Amino acid sequence: MNDFTISLARSLIAVALLMTAMPYITWFERRLLSQMQARVGPNRVGLFGLLQPLADGLKLFFKEDVRPAGADRLLFVTAPAMALFAAIATFAVVPIGPTVHVAGADVPMVVADLPVGALYVVGASSLGIYALLFGGWSSGSKYSLLGALRAAAQVVSYELLLGMAIVCVVLIHGSMSIGDIVAGQQRTAWTIWMQPIAFVLYLIAACAETNRAPFDLPEAETELVAGYLTEYSGMRFALFFIAEYINMFTVSALAATLFLGGWSGPFWPGPHWLLLKILLFLFLFVWVRATLPRLRYDQLMRLSWSTLIPLAMLNVAITAVVIVALG
Amino acid sequence: MFADLKALARGLWTTLRHLRRPKNTELYPEQKRPVSERFRGRHRLYRYDNGLERCIGCHLCAGACPSQAILVIAAENDPGKPVSFGERYAKQFEVNMIRCIFCGFCEEACPVEAIRLGPEYELADETRESFVYTKEMLLDPERYAPKRQFHADVDAPRGRAGGRPEDEAGVSGAPPGHRDTPTGARPPVQKEVGQ
């Protein structure tokens, strides 16, 4: 077994993991949301409706693929694939467990532990916004365009916040490698105890990054039909949809990794701890969605630029000063 | 800002509490709500206690029907072996359930309380022909109508048209157990006529 085979296997496993998790996140969200709304949720297909995502997928697969006459063909086709690519690519630097010994080789349970992993996360996640923009622009529809414009403005505002929250984590652990950050947390303590503000800021930014309620303005089905998704149907729509849920999974995994120690736990360290923490964040996302109404556009902008970003800057400055002062 | 955070926490607490609330959803095919006493579903034709059909083939229901869903073809009764009380009976009686709008005019028009709208509402079917309900299906739905239309919880027996043929003389007065006075409902107000 050469390195290439191992790398390929790791990539395939990561993709398979995400593609398997995604349908069950939709199931989890729909069931939990309905419980919070005094409903029952999907319970017809399979036990507890567990096969519902499969049925939905099949349905989308057989739907007509509509392409508007005024659409830019190349971009319209590229955008959904790009969304999915960006969503999956972000997950590449998240370690899901300790290094394991397989067939005479040490295999780290991560696709790639880049030395600049934290930077890569910010870069890859903002690649997704191009997909939204391309999708909205190329559809040739005003709703799509408005949704895309909102998405662009929102993600630019909150990308900054996300970056600054991650900067604090990087400062504390003195490394941009996600692997080092997990190791650092095992040595000392979870980052959340040292950076509670950065943690909260990260969660808010992650909500906005994944376009989830209360920051779902790009989609805003009650105002903009479905925003940038308006003209998409069938499997192309499904690709955007999958990307959204994989993004949700990825930001949850990152939150768990950067702030809650990743795969490490009080005993038996391994992927199950990461999964547990991810579930916690997914629950939080659904819980927030069930609770909060969508922000108005000006509220969204004011929240970011005049409250959260100054707070984040202050947090970065104080963290840096304290680290320098402590040596 | 502190007030905002408090409001946020209260909102989150509210949704979390709803996790343990009983659900409002009715799991329809498994659980069926009992219908009102006055619900107008699929028709039924009734018999007297001695087995004679109440329907005398007078066509009044067909005449009253605003959507012409009812077909009645009458025939003379054989005095030795009568089908109904009276001179004539319905040789053929059909209700077209696609046309029917469940207005209940037929039961109002019927002089002998032979036709009533029952509680059954699951009438969906696949062919047009299967929506034409014959006299057998209407008289004896438990045996001849589609099985899925019967559910123990919905189909609890309700005021059967009782009475004997002798009551025919007084058809203006409703027979005992008539739905004009459903159980649990307010009894009809007795109007004082004249002085």
pLDDT tens for A84-131 read: 988 888 888 888 877 777 766 777 777 777 888 888 888 888 888 888
A299 in contact with chain B, both atoms CB, cutoff 8 A: no
Q: By three-state DSSP, how is residue B33 classified?
A: coil
**Residue whose tokens read 């969204």:** A300
| Cα B182 from Cα A256, distance rounded (Å) | 63
A58/B158: higher pLDDT: A58
Q: What is the structure's pLDDT at B152? A: 53
In chain A, whose CA is at the least distance from the CA of B9? Answer: A291
- Please name the residues between 40 and 69 in chain A that touch chain B, using a CB distance below 8 Å: 40, 43
Q: DSSP code of B169?
A: G
- What mean pLDDT is predicted for residues A265-272? 78
pLDDT at residue B167 above 70? no
Residue B101 has a pLDDT of 92
Q: CB contact, 8 Å: B21 with chain A?
A: yes
Q: pLDDT confidence of A227, banded at 50, 70, 90?
A: confident
CB A248 within 8 A of CB A210: yes
Length, in residues, of chain A? 327
Q: Identify the band that residue A283 occupies on the pLDDT scale cut at 50, 70 and 90.
A: very high
**Antiparallel, parallel or unpaired: β B70-76 and B88-96:** antiparallel
Nearest Cα of chain B lies from the Cα of A214 at a distance, in angstroms, of 12
- Decide: B98 and B131 in contact? Cβ < 8 Å: yes
Is residue B193 very low, low, confident or very high in pLDDT (cuts 50, 70, 90)? very low
Which phi and psi (to 5°) does residue B113 adopt?
55, 40
CA nearest to B27, candidates A272, A145, A41: A41
Closest CA to A159 of A287, A305, A280: A305
Let me know: does A20 contact A124? Beta carbons within 8 Å.
no
ipTM above 0.90, yes or no: no
Backbone angles phi, psi at A224, to 5 degrees: -115, 30
Closest Cα to residue B86, out of B96, B77, B75, B98? B77
pLDDT grade for B120, boundaries at 50, 70 and 90: confident
Q: How far is B27 from chain A (nearest CA, A)?
A: 9
Provide the pLDDT confidence category of residue B175 given band limits of 50, 70 and 90: very low
Burial of B19-36, coded b for 16+ CB within 10 Å and e otherwise, reads eeeeeeeeeeeeebeebe
Q: What are phi and psi of A194, to 5 degrees?
A: -90, -25
Residue type, A99: T
A38 interfaces chain B, CB cutoff of 8 Å: yes
| Residue-level pLDDT at A314 | 92
Span A144-158, mean pLDDT?
Answer: 83
CA A248 to the chain's CA centroid: 4
